[in-house]
Amino acid sequence: MLYQKILNTEHKKLAVLIDPDKQKGTDLPIIVKNAEKNGADFLLIGGSLMFSDIHSAINTIKHHTDLPVILFPGSVLQLSEKADGILLLSLISGRNPEFLIGNQVIAAPLLKRSKIEVISTGYILVDGGNQTSVEYMSNTKPIPYEKPEIAVATAIAGELIGHKLIYLEAGSGAKNHVSTEMIQQVKKNIEIPLIVGGGIKTLKSVEDVCDAGADIIVVGTAFEKNIDLIKEFSEKIHSY
């Protein structure tokens, strides 16, 4: 089971985020093969908007790798029974009911019928220094960068409600990743795995996020710009 693999904390894990609108044609097999070759643990697939066919993208991915493919949906239009699992996101940092429960209700019948593994995830959007697509599309304000106490209380609430993961997200293409202080404080106050993504662009930022306590590190934009970073990032993450 995917969640059991996530719970295995022997080593920290790398999830490569794939946006089929940005990585398509010959680019998609290249990044997928590179991710598998260099030891990535998971492939997340999704985006705030998506013009590409997600079913076709997953078919292509699965043709080139055996890595688990996990949906990271920006909307209910990004569901596919071809995936291995889904992070069923509830945007608990916001107050937009559609992203707290509305979209989940719409998706529930399909997910119930499907064979994909559903992993309930408390999704916390954090200010990364610039407005991101997820902030705009979800119509929610991110938690201020310098307010770790709000993130901590939100993460605790997510765990108490029953979420299996907490995801601290600065947003794709964020100027800054989530602060190390916020990661440290959240990690110290929850017992479920912690995912951190957004704005992780350098080996130093990977080290900082790992040292602060992230269990799974999600990287997408940096690999779109330089695919060779997968090897460096993977080796560093798995050294912990």
Q: Is the dihedral angle over the CA atoms 28, 103, 100, 9 positive or is it negative?
A: negative
Closest by CA position to 59, among listed 16, 111, 20:
20
Q: Are the C-beta atoms of residues 89 and 124 closer than 8 Å to each other?
A: no
pLDDT in tens, 97-112: 999 999 999 999 999 9
Q: If we measure between CA atoms, which residue out of 55, 21, 14 comes closest to residue 35?
A: 14
Which residue, among 163, 4, 159, 2, has the nearest Cα to 90 in the 3D structure? Answer: 163
Which DSSP category does 173 fall into? T
Task: Please give the CATH topology (third level) of the domain spanning 2-238.
Answer: TIM Barrel (3.20.20)
Which pLDDT tens digit goes with each residue over 136-174? 999 999 999 999 999 999 999 999 999 999 999 999 889
Domain ranges of the chain: 2-238
Mean pLDDT estimate for the chain: 96
